[in-house]
């Protein structure tokens, strides 16, 4: 058990040692904002800030380097989108490739209302026809 505990501490220490944090407070704030706005391509349900996989670590290092070299937040996002596609953004823009993503909830809602209306109204219509036939 002690060996497992020691290995766990070494893994956690190694993972935290890979984390890079810019020294400039303004760059650090922008870095944290961007790493929370961009999706981990491996984990998919985590932001870059939350992920500890090697690719996320490399992308975080790249973001920090770009910010320290004077890149804007939009420039960093555009670079990531150009390289990995709009999927890397947690909030992708509305466009030809993402229209279904944005409109699907409304379409499902309308379909659900129509289905509910047709199920509720069908017995009423069926009852009217039966009364008229007798």
Please give the share of the chain, as a percent, with pLDDT higher than 90: 34
Supply 12's token pair. 């956690």
Digit-coded pLDDT (tens) for 52-104:
899 899 999 999 999 999 999 999 999 999 998 888 887 777 777 777 777 88
Please state, in angstroms and rounded to a whole number, the distance separating the CA atoms of residues 101 and 90: 12
Q: Is the pTM of this model over 0.75?
A: no
Task: Tell me the mean pLDDT in the region 34-59.
Answer: 89
**C-alpha distance from residue 48 to each of 4, 19, 40, 58 (Å):** 28, 11, 5, 10
Comparison of pLDDT for 127 and 100, the residue scoring more = 100
Give the range among 4-13, 15-24, 86-95 with minimum mean pLDDT. 4-13
């Amino acid at each position: 058990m002690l060996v497992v505990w020691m290995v766990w501490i070494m893994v956690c220490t190694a993972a935290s040692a890979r984390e890079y944090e810019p020294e400039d407070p303004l760059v650090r704030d922008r870095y944290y904002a961007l790493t929370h706005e961009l999706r981990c391509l491996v984990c998919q349900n985590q932001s870059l800030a939350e992920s500890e996989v090697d690719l996320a670590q490399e992308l975080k290092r790249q973001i920090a380097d770009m910010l320290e070299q004077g890149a804007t937040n939009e420039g960093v996002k555009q670079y990531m989108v150009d390289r990995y596609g709009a999927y890397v953004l947690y909030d992708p823009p509305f466009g030809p490739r993402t229209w279904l993503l944005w409109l699907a909830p409304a379409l499902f809602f309308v379909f659900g209302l129509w289905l509910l209306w047709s199920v509720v109204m069908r017995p009423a219509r069926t009852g009217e026809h039966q009364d008229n036939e007798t």
